[in-house]
Amino acid sequence: MNILILGGGGREHALAWAFRQNPKCDRLIVAPGNAGIAAIARCAALEITDGAAVVGFCEEQAIDLVVIGPEAPLASGVADSLRAAGIAVFGPSREAARLEASKAFTKEICDACGAPTAGWARFTDAAAARAHVAARGAPIVVKADGLAGGKGVTVAMTEAEALTAIDAAFGGAFGDAGTELVIEEFMAGEEASFFVLCDGATCLPIGSAQDHKRVGEGDTGPNTGGMGAYSPAPVLTEALQARVMAEIVKPTIAEMARRGTPFQGVLYAGLMIEDGRARLVEYNVRFGDPECQVLMMRLGAQALDLVHACAEGRLAEMTVNWADDHALTVVLAAEGYPGDTRKGGVIGGLDGLPETATQMLFHAGTATQEGRVVANGGRVLNATGRGATLAEAQARAYALADAVDWPEGFYRRDIGWRAL
Ligand code: AMP
Ligand code: GLY
């Protein structure tokens, strides 16, 4: 099978690494890829949000399966173009991708199918939004409706913070994404992520994870795309997973199908867990980054069979071979992240690192310049370990991170603390 993966981060490196272990994987192309991916796949330059360009590339390269990593090509309908051209694709249609692209849409779906989530209201003008905050008080959560690169959510502990967020959004801080706001009840509890493959009808859980969103140790400082993650999430017990499937995931999938916009791909449910009950915080319609790295480390070669079956509507035939294992990944980021970072810093210490089923250094924002690997983004490397216990996985991940020689990089030393 010839496979094209769209994306070029740690998530896509982990997908490529897992697929490569499966004998069904023949040619593997990743667009745009990165320096680490280039060692196991061909990297191609391609406008990945342009459906016609992606279809043309697939026809030229005899691609049998396309796996879409990031949200941008999903939100721009690349999966629709591929399906229309008869090319198997893992990833939802533009309509189904609204589960991530519009917070108000997700809330409507939750209300329509009875999935537990925070109480909410939507606003298109500042005065009404401000009056709502005054009536409800803090803490309260203000969200730009659209995709805002992870920056559109303010968990306001005071009314003043909420009002500032409202004014920023209507003042244009998030562009079109902020012309509509969702204001939500604040939910207390512990967050966890749950990943479920869906082929439109059948849903198959493939694992849970928890991430560390804040840049600083002890979960302090500004929010990021994620500084590390581990799987499984101890808080998501088997019993709770069964309830989440019955109360949240399956009703959502059924509602999407009922509307004539079935969801195909991976549904990533962000959950808030309090007193043994889970409520939905948000959906993403793709693998998390860096959550994908720990899921792929645990699934290995079967990931390709699962994703392929999902794309072809054959999930009902599939089971997941669970190992009683743990994985943990540590993000190495460039100085300044999540703010501005410098590109081009040389990364050493990469030769001779172990690349095994229990230790993998996935590349995220890296590139090759004059034969050397250099930093090319904010989150740059993902040191990932797997083990029989979370502590063992953590030790293996940090051994890799410590071996990297990159003076301009930093990483948190406490990934996994909550579970350990
Ligand atoms: P979202 O983009 O909707 O996932 O929001 C980003 C983060 O904001 C979440 O991961 C939570 O940590 C936090 N958050 C979002 N909604 C709520 C809520 N209703 N109550 C408490 N925290 C929330
Ligand atoms: N790590 C969070 C995300 O991928 O959305």
DSSP 221-237: EEE-S-SEEEES-TTS-
Residue 252 contacts residue 262 (beta carbons within 8 Å): no
Question: What one-letter code names the amino acid at 255?
Answer: E
- Mean predicted confidence (pLDDT) in 202-214: 97
Question: Which CATH code fits 326-410?
Answer: 3.90.600.10
| Strand segments (E) across 26-90 | 28-32, 42-43, 65-68, 88-90
How many CB atoms lie under 10 A from the CB of residue 336?
A: 12
277: left (phi over 0), alpha (psi -120 to 50) or beta: beta
What pLDDT, on a 0 to 100 scale, did the predictor assign at position 39?
A: 96
Please name the residue whose Cα sits nearest to atom 5 of ligand 2. Answer: 288
**Domain 2-92: top CATH class:** alpha beta
- ∠ CA(42), CA(44), CA(48), 5° rounding? 130
- Mean predicted confidence (pLDDT) in 157-165: 97
CA of 72 to the centre of ligand 1 (A): 21
- pTM of the predicted model, to two decimals? 0.97
Query: What is the C-alpha to C-alpha distance for residues 163 and 395, in angstroms, rounded to an integer?
Result: 44
Residues of the chain with CATH 3.40.50.20: 2-92
Please name the residue whose Cα sits nearest to atom 19 of ligand 1. Answer: 186
Residues of the chain with CATH 3.90.600.10: 326-410
Atom of ligand 1 nearest to the CA of 152: 2
Query: What is the C-alpha to C-alpha distance for residues 30 and 162, in angstroms, rounded to an integer?
Result: 41
What pLDDT, on a 0 to 100 scale, did the predictor assign at position 322?
A: 87
Which ligand has the shortest distance to the CA of 150?
1
- Mean predicted confidence (pLDDT) in 17-29: 98
- Mean predicted confidence (pLDDT) in 102-112: 97
% pLDDT > 70, the chain = 100
Residue 214 has pLDDT above 90, yes or no: yes
Atom of ligand 2 nearest to the CA of 292: 4
Please name the residue whose Cα sits nearest to atom 2 of ligand 2. Answer: 288
Residue 150 has pLDDT above 80, yes or no: no
CA of 281 to the centre of ligand 1 (A): 6
Question: With bands split at pLDDT 50, 70 and 90, how would you rate the model's confidence at 341?
Answer: very high
**What would the pLDDT profile of 342-353 be if each residue is shown by its tens digit?**
999 999 999 999
Which ligand has the shortest distance to the CA of 270?
1
211 Cβ closer than 6 Å to some ligand 2 atom: yes
Residue 409 has pLDDT above 80, yes or no: yes
145 Cβ closer than 6 Å to some ligand 2 atom: no
Residue 281 has pLDDT above 80, yes or no: yes
Residue 149 has pLDDT above 80, yes or no: no
Question: With bands split at pLDDT 50, 70 and 90, how would you rate the model's confidence at 133?
Answer: very high
Atom of ligand 2 nearest to the CA of 286: 4
Atom of ligand 1 nearest to the CA of 143: 3
**Domain 119-185: top CATH class:** alpha beta
What pLDDT, on a 0 to 100 scale, did the predictor assign at position 418?
A: 86
225 Cβ closer than 6 Å to some ligand 2 atom: yes
CATH of 190-317, one of 3.40.640.10, 3.90.580.10, 3.30.360.10, 3.30.470.20: 3.30.470.20
Atom of ligand 2 nearest to the CA of 290: 1
* Residues whose CB falls within 8 Å of the CB of residue 144, separated by 6 or more in sequence, listed in order: 103, 152, 153, 169, 174, 177, 178, 180, 181
288 Cβ closer than 6 Å to some ligand 2 atom: yes
